[in-house]
Every structure is written in C-alpha cells, then in structure tokens.
Amino acid sequence: MIHSRFSFLLQFSALLAAAQGKPNNTPLIQWTTCSNDYSSKLPADCGTLLVPLDYTDPASTETYALDLLRIPATVQPAKGSIVFNFGGPGEVGRSTLAADAPVFQALTGGEHDLISFDPRGTYASNMPLTCFDSEFDLQAYANAQVIPDQDDQATLGKLWVRGALDAAACAKKHKKNGTLIGTAFISRDIMRIAEAVDDDGLLRFWGYSYGTTLGATLVSMFPDKVDKIVLDGVQNPHQYYHAFADVEEWAQSDEVFSGIFSSCVAYPDQCALARDNKTAAELEQSVMALIEQFKYHPIGVGQMTLDNSFLYQTIQNSLYSIAAWQNTTKLLDMLSNGGIDESFVLSIASQTHPTNQQSLLGLSSVYIATEAIHCVDRAARAGTYENFVPTMNELYETSKIMGRGDVSLSMACAQWQLEPKERYEGDFQVTPKNPVLLIGNSYDAHTPIRSARNVSAGFEGSVVLEVNGYGHSSLGLPSKCTLATTASYWVNGTLPEPGTVCQVEARPFANITWKDVIENASKN
C-alpha cells in the first residue's frame, strides 16, 4: 500500500487523554514529528484531533481520530491556519499538501499555518471505505471501469450491473461507516479543526474541485464562522447533491480538448503531432478517427490491451493540466504514426490504469472512496436504468470526451443503498461573516466558470476571479497575477475587483511551472 497504517500508539495516547478529561491549558492537538515520510520540502508536523464519530448522536461518546499534517507559516507568528482539501471526493490531503508545500505557502503569502487531513472514507484516513474483501473482487471492479460508446448497449448494460454490485458491496461491508462519510460530516470535521487550532475559532479554508462543494457546504452550514475561504475550480453543488449526474461539469471539456490541437499547431516545434502539417481541426478529426480505429483494432503493450476506452481515459486525464499535453500528443503521435516506445506508453498508462499489484490497490482505493462519498451524498437516485437513460444521454451530448467518463460513477450512485446520517439540505444562499473568493479558469474541462458564477450568486459579497487559460483550477495554470491576488486575499483580506481576469505565464507546451512563477516573483 502507498500509505502506512495509522500509528496505534498515537491513537492510544490521544484516546487516553480524552478519557482522562483534559485540563484547560492543554492544547487539543499535540503536534509532533510525522511518523510517515511525506517528503515535504518544508518542515511539517503531524497531530491527531479526536472528533465525534457520529455528529447526529450527541449521546454517543464514540470518537473518530482525525490525523492532521501541518506546514508551519514561513513568517512567524502565524496569522492563523488554513485547511486544504484537494477534491475527488476521495483524494487524500496530507501527502498532497506536503508534496507541494512551498507552492501553497507562496500562494497564501507565507503568513499562515497550512493544514490538511485525509477525509473520512479516503484510503489514508482512519475510516477507509474498501468495500471489497479480496484482491479477486478488487480486480473485477478495476477491470469493469470502461468507457462505453453511447450506442454500446451491451457494455452499458454490464456497467449498470457493475454499479449495483458496488452499491451492494459497500452497503454490506460498511453498513455503518458508509453512512458517516458524507460531506456534512466532513464539514463538521473542518469546523472542529478550526476551533482546535486557532483562538478565534473561525474558518480559513481552500478547496479545489470537489473541495469547492465541501467548501460551499461549509460556508452554508457555518456562515457566521467564515473568515476567509477560497473555492477554486468550482463544481455546481446543487447538481452534486440533487441531479442524477454532474452534467454541468463537462460543459467546457470539448473546448479544452480542441485547445490541445490549436496549441499544437501554434507551437509546432514542441508538439510531436504537428509534424503532420495538419490544421487544428484536421488533427482533432484524425485523433477521433484513431480512437474509433482502436475500438475495433486495439493493440497490446506490456500486459495491457490499449483500446478506445484506454484512449478516452488517457485524454480525459490530460485535460487536468497543460503540463500533460506534451506527453499526450507524443503518445497520440506514436499510436498514429508508429514507433511505439513501450516503457513510455506504460508510464502514461499507469496514471489511469493499474499496471501492477500496487497500482491496482492505489488507484482502486481512490476510485472506491470517490464513489462511496459522492454516492452517499447524492439525494437523487434514479433507481432504474430506464430512469437514468435521459441523464446518460445528456452526459454524452454535453461532451464527447468527458461526459462518458461520468457514466460509471453516476450509474453506481443511481443504485446506492446507503443514506448519510446527515446531508446539507439548504439552497446555498447565505451571507457569510466575511466574503468568499471563487476562482474559475476561462477553459476548465472539469469545472466550467459558469459553476463558479452560480455559487457566487448565492454567497453575498463573493467575487469570482477568472484565470485566462486551459486547465483545472488555478493549480493547473501558473500565473503571477493569480499568485499576487490569492496572497493578498489571505494576508490582507483584499478581494479582486469584480470582473478581474488574470493572464497566465504558462502557455501550453512551455513547461512553465508554479515553481518558476514563484521564483520569478520573489526576484522582481
């Protein structure tokens, strides 16, 4: 496994402290050296906070151990703490924060302690939703994750049954824990963290992607506790809870897909596919034809069968960030024009497909947590295939590339058996104590900027910052303007003027990273 298990000793001593009742001057969290190696480039420490296992049962004394990682402010004393969530749902927090600690410190102006945790349900939390008992069952689950064409009734029928199997397996294995992992409880966990770490007990939070649904829920449940909150790469939370699928998420995906080819033609020296001398439209057409060809004529590489489903997943993955476009166009060029480099193809494949036992466990544990959290949150359940079909067709029609990627998850959710102990039932219309900053990219294949505007319309005083480029959330688009804007919000509480558009330093195929932009900004 990628993660090592929670340290029993730490949990034991924390439970003991809770049982003995803590004197008023003892902090709720004892920060110590991390027992895991998070390979953080900045100093990091770790701690555990005990929170109620079930917030809806005040009579219960059962606790849940929330493991935290903290990157202390580079400028001390810290102005308070900011909690991070990196999306999914199903993504872990501690290792992601540690891996890019210098970037997050720069983006927040260096004056806050940064904290993350692995939300309930995720594999590195103390409540991992594993759902399957054997490696055989896990392998069957992983093998079933295919991306069918809209007219492929046979495969769609099998995928629907697979969703029912997932729903039944999670209900059987996690009858109790599967009801304790919803976003309302994760929001309450964040509120507990805020109360434990800072004297003012106010919320400072930065959520990416699904982390914006979590953040929107947090703001709506605790509007009086909001100090500063950034929602970045914004989902439509109304759809997340109340629609049969997150259809709006894919509204701009095909524009981003086309952006790969227009950028390829604009920077031909850096894009392998450009050597065909085609126009952007011709390149896109030839890639669509390649995908169709692989449907009937897949190839074997290593122990993998590369088919059209593989190509869809790889392209979907590369729409997260322009940083992936160089490799994706190189792969497409190899598959179109020959000269396949097996180790290169397998290294690309391993990002989305299990290529060995370890990656089977790693990738599957993220997918299952995503399913278990999103599906339990979703109030709308289609129940039958017939009821689901109109939404499925909407997915295919919204985006030829991304819509189909949401079919498998949405089918499982349509048949989910568990209900959360608590679900936020409100309408996301609140006046928070302090204004919220939303960030949306002009072209985001996972969260179109219209969803940021949708959430902003409900949060009195909020502002949407637009970042002009291709990618998912501001993390996908290094920009000195974004850096200055977010740092100024965190340090001084300054919001950008409504209508502000940040230009970016990182154009496609240029290899410019956040590290480059941050180093440059500190020089100038």
Answer yes or no whether residue 127 interacts with ligand NAG by CB under 6 A: yes
Tokens representing 471 are: 């990618």
Span interacting with ligand NAG, options 15-23, 43-51, 323-331, 439-447, rule CB under 6 A? 323-331
Q: Among 48, 212, 313, 326, indicate the residue that binds ligand NAG (CB under 6 A).
A: 326
Taking the complex as a whole, how short is the minimal distance between the CB of residue 125 and ligand NAG, in angstroms? 8
Interface residue with ligand NAG, options 344, 367, 385, 396 (CB under 6 A) = 344
Q: How far is CA 119 from CA 47, 94, 375, in A?
A: 15, 10, 15
> Binding to ligand NAG by residue 119, rule CB under 6 A?
no
Using the contact rule CB under 6 A, the part of the chain among 76-84, 220-228, 463-471, 503-511 near ligand NAG is 503-511
DSSP state of 474: G
For position 327 contacting ligand NAG by CB under 6 A, the verdict is: yes
- In three-state secondary structure terms, 21 is coil
Q: Please give the helix or strand (H or E) that residue 49 lies within, else none.
A: strand 45-52
Handedness of CA 15, 18, 20, 25 (dihedral sign): positive
Among residue numbers 265 through 284, which ones bind ligand NAG (CB under 6 A)?
270, 276-277
Q: Of residues 365-404, which lie at the interface with ligand NAG (CB under 6 A)?
A: none
Eight-state DSSP code of residue 128:
B
Look at residues 416, 457, 413, 417 and name the one whose alpha carbon lies nearest to residue 438. 457
Nearer to ligand NAG, 148 or 420 (CB): 420
Residue closer to ligand NAG by CB (options 89, 121) is 121
Q: Does 286 sit near ligand NAG (CB under 6 A)?
A: no
**Of 492, 493, 498, 501, which lies in the binding site for ligand NAG, with binding defined by CB under 6 A?**
492
Say if CB 291 and CB 311 are below 8 A apart.
yes
What are the percentages of helix, strand and coil residues in the chain, rounded to 5?
50, 15, 40
Binding mask 50-89 for ligand NAG (x = CB under 6 A): --------------x-------------------------
The answer to whether residue 152 forms part of the interface with ligand NAG (CB under 6 A) is no
Shorter beta-carbon distance to ligand NAG: residue 159 or 234 = 234
Query: Considering beta carbons, is residue 409 or 455 the nearer one to ligand NAG?
Result: 455
Question: How far from chain centre, in Å, is Cα 255?
Answer: 21
Q: Which of 251, 376, 487, 502 binds ligand NAG (CB under 6 A)?
A: 487
Cα–Cα distances (Å) from 80 to 94, 222, 327, in that order, read 18, 18, 40
DSSP string, 186-239: HHHHHHHHHHHH-TT--EEEEEETHHHHHHHHHHHH-GGGEEEEEEES---HHH
What is the Cα–Cα distance from 497 to 115, expressed in whole angstroms?
28
Residue 326's SS3 state is: helix
* Residue whose CB is less far from ligand NAG, 156 or 316: 316
- Collapsed DSSP state (helix, strand, coil) of residue 306: strand
Q: Which is nearer to ligand NAG, 5 or 22 (CB)?
A: 5
Q: Is 347 in the site for ligand NAG (CB under 6 A)?
A: yes
Q: 175: which residues sit within 8 A by CB, 6+ positions away? A: 418
Please report how the helices 135-143 and 357-377 are oriented relative to each other, as an axis angle in degrees rounded to 10.
70
**Interaction between residue 177 and ligand NAG (CB under 6 A):** yes
Regarding 505 and contact with ligand NAG (CB under 6 A), the answer is yes
Per this entry, what is the length of the chain? 524
Residue 158 CB, shortest distance to ligand NAG, in Å, is: 28
Our finding on whether 429 is near ligand NAG (CB under 6 A) is: no
Binding range to ligand NAG, per CB under 6 A, among 144-152, 224-232, 287-295, 488-496 = 488-496
488 binds ligand NAG (CB under 6 A): yes
Going by C-alpha positions, the residue among 38, 37, 105, 96 that lies closest to residue 71 is 105
Give the interface segment with ligand NAG, choosing from 158-166, 236-244, 252-260, 400-408 (CB under 6 A).
Answer: 236-244
Rounded CA-CA distance 522/304 in Å is 46
Q: Does 517 bind ligand NAG (CB under 6 A)?
A: yes
**Which residues, numbered 243-262, are part of the site for ligand NAG (CB under 6 A)?**
248
- The answer to whether residue 512 forms part of the interface with ligand NAG (CB under 6 A) is yes
Only segment of 164-172, 205-213, 249-257, 322-330 that touches ligand NAG (CB under 6 A): 322-330
**109 in contact with ligand NAG (CB under 6 A):** yes
C-alpha 210/C-alpha 470 separation (Å) is 19
The smaller minimum CB distance to ligand NAG, of residues 6 and 385, is found at 6
Please choose, from the candidates 249, 184, 244, the residue with its C-alpha nearest in 3D space to the C-alpha of residue 378.
244
- Residues lying near ligand NAG in the complex (CB under 6 A) are found at 64, 109, 126-127, 174, 177, 236, 238-239, 248, 270, 276-277, 323-324, 326-327, 344, 347, 454, 457, 487-488, 491-492, 505, 509-512, 516-517, 520, 524
